Amino acid sequence: MAWVAHISGRPVGIARYIRYPDELERAELAVEVVDAEHGRGVGRVLTEATVTAAVQRVRRLSATLDPGNAASRALLAGLGAQFHLVEGVLEATGELRLPESIASRQSRHAT
């Protein structure tokens, strides 16, 4: 599943998850935003939308990122991911859970 973000009809970012064919409870997550729109919250919105959809079907997530990319680390840390440096690349893994902002909204509606 993939979500695409648009600003004034122009695509500016994409996030997707792909389930591993031999391990359907695990998915790889990836998000990318065009350089000109970095730091405006597009990556966060795309990640939250993708994780909210994925959590219905998947229990664990993986992602691969550049160790120097602080924004992607912040996004994945917010999902509770653990990081391991493997051959110069950062591997993120973790149990998938609803983003805090969505979970707190859900619990407010449930009471």
Ligand X SMILES: CC(C)(COP(=O)(O)OP(=O)(O)OC[C@H]1O[C@@H](n2cnc3c(N)ncnc32)[C@H](O)[C@@H]1OP(=O)(O)O)[C@@H](O)C(=O)NCCC(=O)NCCS
Is position 49 an interface residue for ligand X (rule: CB under 6 A)? Answer: no
Site for ligand X in 66-105 (CB under 6 A): 66, 69-72, 74-75, 78
How far is residue 2's CA from residue 23's CA, in Å, rounded to a whole number? Answer: 19
- Two structure tokens written together for 106: 């859900």
Find the shortest distance in angstroms from Cβ 20 to ligand X. 16
SS3 at position 5: strand
Q: Which is nearer to ligand X, 59 or 83 (CB)?
A: 83
Find the shortest distance in angstroms from Cβ 14 to ligand X. 9
- Two structure tokens written together for 85: 């440096």
Alpha helices in the chain (DSSP H): 42-54, 70-77, 100-110
Question: Which residue number places its CB atom closest to ligand X?
Answer: 43
Among 1, 14, 18, 30, binds ligand X (CB under 6 A): 30
Is position 26 an interface residue for ligand X (rule: CB under 6 A)? Answer: no
- Two structure tokens written together for 90: 């950062």
Find the shortest distance in angstroms from Cβ 88 to ligand X. 14
Is position 65 an interface residue for ligand X (rule: CB under 6 A)? Answer: yes
Cα 100 from chain centroid (whole Å): 13
